[in-house]
Structure 1
Amino acid sequence: MRFGMRRGRTAVAAAVAAVAAATLLGAASASADGDPNGNQNGNGNNGNATRADHWGVITRNTIGSPVAALRDGPFGSFGVTGPSARPPYGQGSLGIEVADNSTTLSPPSEKVDFGNEVDFFGDRVRDLNKLGFHVFQTGENVTYGGPENMPNIRFEIDPNLSAHPMDNYSTMVWVPDASPVTNRWSPFLDATTTGYWYLTGNETVCNQAEQCTFDELKASLDDGGDEATILTAAVGKGRDHMWIGAVDGLRINNRVYDFEADGVRARRVG
């Protein structure tokens, strides 16, 4: 009986010690690069990170059998060291995999959106002012589809245009420029100043044939009618070329969404 009691006390003590050690280890890891919130690359993140619910694969926007999954890493590639060898926030990222020729549809490629159908609903498009992300691009992806074979930011919106009163759906799509680096994490890619934007429904001059800057697209939605409003926000890929990589640190205005294996965290930024 005494032996059993000692074992119980020892187990409790060991558990307490393990929790304390894990807490200290997590704190040390989070502040290792001078950022108390776990921003490993020191990108000026401030404020506390909070759990962000309502993120996941948008099923109705998924075609084929793509992957959009929260994961640890990627770390590397091999031989890469320093800040670009690890996700820019925390330990994880959003891994994305799409194929270019795996369905019986036309085109035969896959598509996936990982996003949020709740928290941005009803927000005004004109209030969007800070957008972008970090990407883990590979040389193989460039081989598959060229330097601009990259994931996108997508906002499903209600355009609310006076010229098209019955049209209450379109998607704003950001097509990034080529990543400045491959086989490692990129710096922040600013969707408001680089790449181009278009609307999927040809509601304005900003379509896939007439690519627009971010400011031009927002201006094209201002025709004197009701405000264009957001339905959903997402990171996505397809339908075009095969792509296997990752995204982290999705910024939407004053929040950076940190993709981690155990969920999405929202970090307040200036």
Structure 2
Amino acid sequence: MITRNTIGSPVAALRYGPYGSFGVTGPSSRPPYGQGSLGIEVADDSTSLNPPSEKADFGNEVDFFGDSVLALKQVGFRVFQTNENVGYGGAENMPNIRFEIDPNLSALPADNYSTMVWVPDAAPVTNRWSPFIDATTTGYWYLTGNETSCTQAAECSFQELKASLDDGGAKPTIYTASIGKGRDYMWIGAVDGLRINREIYDFEPNGVRTRRA
């Protein structure tokens, strides 16, 4: 867990499974890599804050520090989505991929922080593991600080967001990489096989394994 990005008392923990749901067999009934996954549980109305929902981020604050945002080429994951989650917040009630970054924009030299957020489309399947969902070609991206035209109200593709940060000056760099959920709807599910460029991160109960894509 990235402690400073946690709101409420959500769960983001390495776990076995999930396996199922009942009646589901074959490859989609088990985690795509190994025996485990990253389990995430957030509530929608459990804090005294506004909004009252929880937020969880599970990620890495060390290994991506200083890497180039513009060098990101491949990003995505596999998800275990349930019909219940769809009922809580609609078909696009899904976890996100988030990169905390230094935008390094020439027009905003004092702005050294923003978060790149990927909002996936609806999962292609429910109550089982999805195939790989490619964050570079599906869903949309935005910056939390409104540094460019890619805002939550003006959705951008992955390539559009990177282009908006490439203004000819110092290049944008990464602080952290994470999978997160909130602050919006209740969601209880799991993620596995996070891909960042040539590495796939396999979430297992006893740790995170790195695989070559």
Same fold (TM over 0.5): yes
| Map of 1:165 onto structure 2 | 109
Amino acid at match of 2:22: F
Structure whose CA Rg is larger: 1
Q: 1:75 aligns with which of 7, 19, 28?
A: 19
User: After the TM superposition, which residues 97-112 of structure 1 pair with which residues of structure 2 at under 5 Å, given as runs?
Assistant: 97-112=41-56
Within 5 Å, give how 1:141-160 maps onto structure 2: 141-160=85-104
CA–CA separation in structure 2 for the residues paired with 1:262 and 1:162: 43
The answer on 1:221 being equivalent to 2:173 is no
Q: Which secondary structure state, in structure 2, belongs to the residue aligned with residue 164 of structure 1?
A: coil
- Aligned partners of 1:210 and 1:223: how far apart in 2? 19
Partner residue in 2 for 1:127: 71
Match among 101, 114, 117 for residue 58 of structure 2: 114
Structure with higher strand content:
2
Q: Residue in 2 aligned with 1:181? A: 125
The residue type equivalent to 1:155 in the other structure is F
Counterpart residue number, 1:207? 151
- Report the Cα distance in structure 1 between the residues aligned to 2:125 and 2:211, rounded to whole angstroms: 25
Identity of counterpart residues, as a percentage?
Answer: 80
TM-score, structure 2 length as denominator? 1.00
Segments of 5+ residues of structure 1 without an aligned counterpart are: 1-56
Counterpart residue type for residue 230 of structure 1: I
C-alpha separation between the residues in 2 aligned to 1:259 and 1:159? Answer: 29
Q: Which runs of 5+ in 2 are unaligned?
A: none
| Aligned-CA RMSD value | 0.3
1:24 alignment partner in structure 2: none
**For residue 219 of structure 1, what is the amino acid of its counterpart?**
A
SS at match of 2:59: strand
TM-fit CA distance, 1:98: 0.1
- State how far apart, in whole Å, the 2-side matches of 1:215 and 1:135 are: 23
Letter in 2 for 1:174: W
- 2:209 match: secondary structure: strand
- What TM-score results when the alignment is normalised by the length of structure 1? 0.79
Q: 1:225: how far off?
A: 1.4
Superposed counterparts of 1:56-75, under 5 Å:
57-75=1-19
Between the aligned partners of 2:108 and 2:184, the Cα distance in structure 1 is 29
User: Counting helix residues as a fraction of each chain, which structure ranks higher?
Assistant: 1
Task: State yes or no: 1:194 paired with 2:132.
Answer: no
Q: Which amino acid aligns with 2:123?
A: S
Q: Measure the CA separation in 2 of the matches of 1:176 and 1:267.
A: 23
Encode CA deviations 1:108-165: one digit per residue, 9 max, x unaligned: 0000100000000000000000000000000000000000000000000000000110
Q: Distance in 1 between matches of 2:97 and 2:9?
A: 20
| CA offsets 1:78-98 (integer angstroms, 9 cap, x no match) | 000000000000000000000
Q: 2:31 maps to what in 1?
A: 87
Equivalenced residue count is 213
Secondary structure of 2:70's match?
helix
**Runs of 4+ more than 4 Å apart:** none
- Secondary structure class of the residue paired with 1:78: coil
